[in-house]
Amino acid sequence: MNRFAALLNSLAYEPARNAKLRLIREYFRSTADPERGWALAALTGALSFPHAKPGLIRRLIGERTDPVLFALSYDYVGDLSETVALMWPAQQSPLPSGERPASRCGSEPGEGEQTSSRSPSPDLADARSTSPHRGEVKELTLTSVVETLATLGKAQLPQQLARWLDLLDENGRWALIKLVTGGLRVGVSARLAKTAVADIGSREVQEIELIWPALAPPYVELFAWLEARAEKPVSGPAPFRPPMLAHALDEPDLATLDPGDFLAEWKWDGIRVQAVAAAPLPPAPHLGERRVGIARLYSRTGEDISKAFPDLIDALHLPGAVDGELLIRRDGVVQSFNVLQQRLNRKTVTPKLLTQFPAHLRAYDLLADGDEDLRGLPFAERRTRLEDFVVRLNDDRIDLSPLVDFAGWEELGAARKNPEAAGAGRDAAAIEGVMLKRRTAPYLPGRPKGPWWKWKREPFIVDAVLMYAQRGHGKRSSYYSDYTFGLWTRGNGGDELVPVGKAYFGFTDEELLQIDRFVRRNTIERFGPVREVVHEPDQGLVMEVAFEGLQRSTRHKSGLAMRFPRINRLRWDKPPGEADRLERLESMIARAEHGAVS
Amino acid sequence: MIILFNAMRPEDVLALTPAGLCCKRGSFHIDPTRAVGRALITHAHSDHARPGHGAVLATQETLDLMRLRYGDDFAGTAQAIRYGENVRLDGAMVSFHPAGHILGSAQIAVEVDGLRVVASGDYKNIPDPTCTPFERIRCDVFITEATFALPVFRHGDPSGEIARLLRSVALFPERAHLVGAYSLGKAQRLIALLRGAGYDRPIYLHGAIESITRYYESRGIALGELRLVRGADKAALAGTITICPPSTLNDLWARRFPDPVNAFASGWMRVRARARQQGVVLPLVISDHADWDGLTATIAATGAGEVWVTHGQEDALVHWCRTRGLKARPLDIVGYGDEDEQGEQSIREAEE
């Protein structure tokens, strides 16, 4: 438990992705089975302990500390696990010699609340424990915690947790509470944890994703394979296949490309998904083709999102793997991303949600047909197989993404500018450009350059005024590189700027230095790490901001949120008074909501 | 001799005025927050020691440090007092006793008609190689700070924290370690702790820390080989330890180091959010203030029946005192507890 706690502690402090990867890798390399497998399960969110609720933790600490002191401490620390970990009264027991300063200069330790030596471990090299219960703590492993909790009744839980909290040091207590109450929140995604696992066997994370659904904690067979001690685990039914991604097209690239080599499709503004269905095991031919063992819907990163889309899962009744776009389709018309947003990130899927926001899969590739892997076939052939598959599937909720006819790049460019007139009709609201796919290209995982291109529609552009700047992280940590910008609107005392978004990329290194200098010289107020920068009609910095779309948002004062905002250009020449007005964004979103874009 | 205890109230010994704690019978203030005629200063941190008083009574080290920071005209007159020495000031008897906070820091005992009040300034009750250890003084009323007065604050053994720093330095020989530490007291204590742990390579200093550190050395505190960062080659700073004011960790100044690891030595580092807000990757819990156990143990040991609680988490400590049957109240003195917030800010601006 202590080593796992040390890992979590280091991860919590480390902001950089690569350093986090290194920490997790080192942990996996230096930790034995099954301990490391349970750690992987914890990091990927595969563990849950339904009876361990924050309320239980509160009750335990309430029985042991003064409620006023706890309330004041919790208020100060702001995190339940941490407050409890720090306040938990250590058990009275003699300390190993040398653990405590020889004298406390004429005073005795406080009554009742005995000092415990702190053992934070920001670096993994730090495996020491200065806990008074050194020996016992070593025996308390993550494995024993997980195994005990798996068999423990609800009634025994409080006592068991308290016993463990007594045994552990502060860091261990913090990690244990985080672990059992769910949600480690140490800035590690499941994908990152899997990447670290892949690294120890010098494998690509895609390979792990492919077999992941067939694996279960504590992943002993996975580690055995990565350490070349065993065969690769066989992927289970309906595995995720690493997706093929496109490069953004620069228009000059077109001159080097032959239109005859490519097929074109609309680029849909939805969620890229992979819909996979497996034949039942064992096969039951007497039930016919419609009988399916298992169906899953995966996000682009391999996350299983089946539970959020039961309506689509029902539709996956032919064994195979479809690559496509998740959209909302009402009355035969594909809805804009703004509408799709309202179906996403919901905790529970209510019948009302299913009726109001019916999920739809627009298919554009077929990776497997039954047991047959099609990824080695040229795209044109896969396309024919896909068309046949969709016909056989024969379900309203899944249809084919149509090809866009074109003779040359100019014609395709015109279709990109006006999809509605080029065959997309009322679906145009959900189109954000065109895709070019080389007829002869096999399906290659990752982002190979050449076979697939995305040619997005022109971004939206506004001229906004820099209002606040904040220092960045990692290698930008001393530069003001996060910018909040605003647009003019009518306020109580005349025109005023209202913040509309935040951007932290799009500029060159040289421009970053210029803005950094501007921020430092034109600060009018500081709020912790944030500086307010001068923003008057005749004084300040205008930034040309590019973005992909707009959504309504209650989190922003302006009521709007931009998608993928970035700094397109610095307008040192433009006085802030001539920057754009909020009304311009409002009319853009009104048009988007009525289905007519651009 | 008959002493009329009942006639004397603690407020007659020391009372709170707009300028801070005042002893009318002795015609002086303790750590006043504005200029007064006669000031007794517990220690040289800028929130306690301000320039411009008519006369100042303090330990020699405190006077020297004030002179170093504010110049020769930091006060009208200055008088040094030794630990344990009794001085009569009009109707009051005062004495200074080690507070263990920083070099020269003192608790001030004020006695009038047999009633003794101790104003402890800032203190810690664990050993510090750079200053005289805290001394427990019996008294009737104890005035205590409350910087870390929550039971979540337990500082532990600083040698363990130093060991973690040294392990990190060994783990990342290609990176520079920047350790944020308050310029007066913490910085020098850190260096001494590193030397005590056997670290004998040169330690680098931010310019803002130099003069105070040299003063510590002149008082016989051995700190080993020290070098200024200014002018050092970037590559040469790999694998080294630099002590700097906390606010410089994320500033332009830090760009001269190869891939720096940010550490911060402070009692605040016990709380993760505090460390993360400041971009600290290696938090070191090393404090010059007493922790919760230190505060509560000290209060109990003074034998005081009444406790006045100044700057910090007053509510928690007042509550604790009352649950122990002690009379207690918060003392709202505006202006204590920000030495480093304010002090460092001006340093940073100067650097820019």
| Preceding omega of A282 cis (within 30 degrees of 0) | yes
- Search chain B and give the residue with CA nearest A121: B164
For B277-282, what is the mean pLDDT? 82
Identity of the residue in B125, B251, B254 whose CB atom sits nearest the CB atom of A104: B125
For A126-139, what is the mean pLDDT? 44
Which carries the bigger pLDDT value, residue B32 or residue A371?
A: B32
| Rounded Cα distance, A246 and A436, in Å | 9
Q: Is the pLDDT of residue B340 over 60?
A: no
- Strands B106-112 and A294-299 come out as unpaired
Q: Is the pLDDT of residue A575 over 50?
A: yes
Residues from chain B contacting residue A108 (CB–CB below 8 Å): 297, 300-301
| Rounded Cα distance, A403 and A43, in Å | 42
Tokens describing residue B246 = 């906390």
Q: Does A71 touch chain B (CB under 8 A)?
A: no
- Cα–Cα separations (whole angstroms), residue B167 to A27, A319, B74, B160, B227: 17, 55, 43, 11, 22
Among A137-146, A441-450, A568-577, the least confident range: A137-146
| Rounded Cα distance, B148 and B126, in Å | 14
Q: What per-residue confidence (pLDDT) applies to A13?
A: 86
Q: How confident is the model at residue A130 (pLDDT cuts 50, 70, 90)?
A: very low
Same structural domain for residues B104 and B239? no
Residue whose C-alpha is closest to residue B217's, from B64, B347, B85: B64
Position A52: which residue type? A
| Residue B7: CB atoms within 10 Å | 9
Q: How confident is the model at residue B262 (pLDDT cuts 50, 70, 90)?
A: very high
Q: What per-residue confidence (pLDDT) applies to B49?
A: 96
Q: What per-residue confidence (pLDDT) applies to B80?
A: 98
Chain B: nearest CA to A498, how far in angstroms? 26
CATH number at residue B27: 3.60.15.10
Which stretches of A327-425 are DSSP H helices? 337-341, 351-356, 379-393, 409-417
Among A32-36, A70-74, A402-406, B93-97, the least confident range: A70-74
| Rounded Cα distance, A328 and A306, in Å | 16
Contact criterion met (CB < 8 Å) for A105 and B292: no
| Rounded Cα distance, B314 and B150, in Å | 9
Beta bridge partners of A543: A464, A570
Task: Answer yes or no: are the C-beta atoms of B179 and B284 closer than 8 Å.
Answer: yes
Annotate A263-317 with three-state secondary structure.
Answer: EEEEEECCEEEEEEEECCCCCCHHHCCCCCCEEEEEECCCCECHHHCHHHHHHCC
CATH fold of A247-456: D-amino Acid Aminotransferase; Chain A, domain 1 (3.30.470)
- Look up the pTM and report it: 0.68
Range of the domain at B162: 158-284
| A:537-556 residues touching chain B, CB 8 A cutoff | none
Tell the burial category of A125 from Cβ atoms under 10 Å away from its Cβ (0-12, 13-18, 19+): middle
Same structural domain for residues B147 and B9? yes
Residue whose C-alpha is closest to residue A174's, from A3, A9, A7: A9
Tokens describing residue A261 = 């080599």
Same structural domain for residues B57 and B164? no
- Strands A431-438 and A398-400 come out as unpaired
In sequence order, the 6+-apart residues with CB closer than 8 A to the CB of B83 are B59, B96, B97, B98, B106, B132, B135
Residues from chain A contacting residue B176 (CB–CB below 8 Å): none
Is the Cα dihedral A572, A574, A575, A580 positive or negative? negative
Contact criterion met (CB < 8 Å) for B157 and A117: yes
Position A203: which residue type? R
ipTM metric: 0.89
Contact criterion met (CB < 8 Å) for B293 and A110: yes
**Which residue shows structure tokens 């796992």?**
A4
For A325-335, what is the mean pLDDT? 94
| Rounded Cα distance, B247 and B342, in Å | 10
- Search chain A and give the residue with CA nearest B314: A72
Chain A: nearest CA to B91, how far in angstroms? 30
Position A569: which residue type? R
pLDDT digits (tens, 9 = 90+) for A235-281: 777 888 889 999 999 888 899 999 999 999 999 999 999 999 987 75
Q: How confident is the model at residue A520 (pLDDT cuts 50, 70, 90)?
A: confident
Contact criterion met (CB < 8 Å) for B300 and A82: no
Contact criterion met (CB < 8 Å) for B126 and A101: yes
Q: How confident is the model at residue A125 (pLDDT cuts 50, 70, 90)?
A: very low
Tokens describing residue B41 = 């200063």
Residues from chain B contacting residue A15 (CB–CB below 8 Å): 279, 281
Contact criterion met (CB < 8 Å) for B157 and A110: no
Residues from chain A contacting residue B293 (CB–CB below 8 Å): 109-110, 113-115
Same structural domain for residues B262 and B304? no
Chain A: nearest CA to B259, how far in angstroms? 8
Same structural domain for residues B140 and B267? no
List the single best residue of A18, A115, A520 to mutate versus B (max B Cβ within 10 A).
A115
Q: What per-residue confidence (pLDDT) applies to A50?
A: 82
Same structural domain for residues B104 and B253? no
Identity of the residue in A66, A471, A520 whose CB atom sits nearest the CB atom of B250: A471
CATH fold of A1-93+114-236: DNA ligase i, domain 1 (1.10.3260)
B258, B284, B310: which is the final residue of a domain?
A: B284
List the single best residue of A66, A87, A99, A478 to mutate versus B (max B Cβ within 10 A).
A478
Among A299-313, A351-365, B62-76, the least confident range: A299-313
Q: Is the pLDDT of residue A136 over 50?
A: no
| Rounded Cα distance, A513 and A548, in Å | 26
Q: Is the pLDDT of residue B23 over 70?
A: yes
List the single best residue of B152, B157, B313, B342 to mutate versus A (max A Cβ within 10 A).
B152
What whole-number percentage of chain B has pLDDT above 90?
Answer: 82
| Rounded Cα distance, B292 and B153, in Å | 6
Q: What per-residue confidence (pLDDT) applies to B342?
A: 34
- Cα–Cα separations (whole angstroms), residue A363 to A291, B44, B199, B274: 21, 73, 65, 49
Same structural domain for residues B186 and B99? no
| Rounded Cα distance, B147 and B317, in Å | 10
Identity of the residue in B271, B283, B301 whose CB atom sits nearest the CB atom of A108: B301
Q: Does A107 touch chain B (CB under 8 A)?
A: yes
CATH number at residue B212: 3.40.50.10890
DSSP A178-220: HHHHS---SS--HHHHHHHHHHHTT--HHHHHHHGGG--TT-H
CB hemisphere CA count around A382 (13 angstroms): 27
Q: What per-residue confidence (pLDDT) applies to B346?
A: 32
Task: Round the average pLDDT of chain A to a whole number and report it.
Answer: 85
Q: What per-residue confidence (pLDDT) applies to A38?
A: 96
Rg of chain B over CA atoms, in angstroms?
21
Q: Which CATH code, of 2.60.40.290, 2.40.50.140, 3.40.50.300, 2.40.50.100, is assigned to A460-593?
A: 2.40.50.140
- Cα–Cα separations (whole angstroms), residue A127 to A13, A142, A173, A311: 17, 15, 15, 49
Contact criterion met (CB < 8 Å) for A121 and B297: no
**Which residue shows structure tokens 């820099």?**
A466
Same structural domain for residues B194 and B68? no
B233, B250, B284: which is the final residue of a domain?
A: B284
B252, B284, B316: which is the final residue of a domain?
A: B284
Residues from chain A contacting residue B151 (CB–CB below 8 Å): 65, 69, 73, 86-87, 113
Among A346-355, B29-38, B229-238, the least confident range: A346-355
Q: How confident is the model at residue B347 (pLDDT cuts 50, 70, 90)?
A: very low
Q: Does A528 touch chain B (CB under 8 A)?
A: yes
For B109-125, what is the mean pLDDT? 96
Q: What per-residue confidence (pLDDT) applies to A103?
A: 38
Q: What per-residue confidence (pLDDT) applies to B284?
A: 96
Task: Round the average pLDDT of chain B to a whole number and report it.
Answer: 91
- Cα–Cα separations (whole angstroms), residue A353 to A330, A346, A552, B157: 13, 9, 19, 57
Identity of the residue in A108, A113, A123 whose CB atom sits nearest the CB atom of B168: A123
Contact criterion met (CB < 8 Å) for A13 and B275: yes
Q: Is the pLDDT of residue B89 over 90?
A: yes
Q: What per-residue confidence (pLDDT) applies to B6?
A: 55
Residue whose C-alpha is closest to residue B191's, from B93, B265, B82: B265
| A:496-525 residues touching chain B, CB 8 A cutoff | 520
pLDDT digits (tens, 9 = 90+) for A285-297: 554 444 547 899 9
What kind and span of H or E run contains A27?
helix A17-30
Chain B: nearest CA to A483, how far in angstroms? 17
Q: How confident is the model at residue A477 (pLDDT cuts 50, 70, 90)?
A: low
Tokens describing residue B25 = 């019978």
Q: Is the pLDDT of residue A365 over 90?
A: yes
Same structural domain for residues B202 and B339? no
Strands of the sheet with B20-23, listed across from one edge = B15-17, B20-23, B28-30, B38-40, B53-58, B75-80
Residue spans of the domains in chain A: they are: 1-93+114-236, 247-456, 460-593
Chains A, B: CB contacts within 8 A come to 158
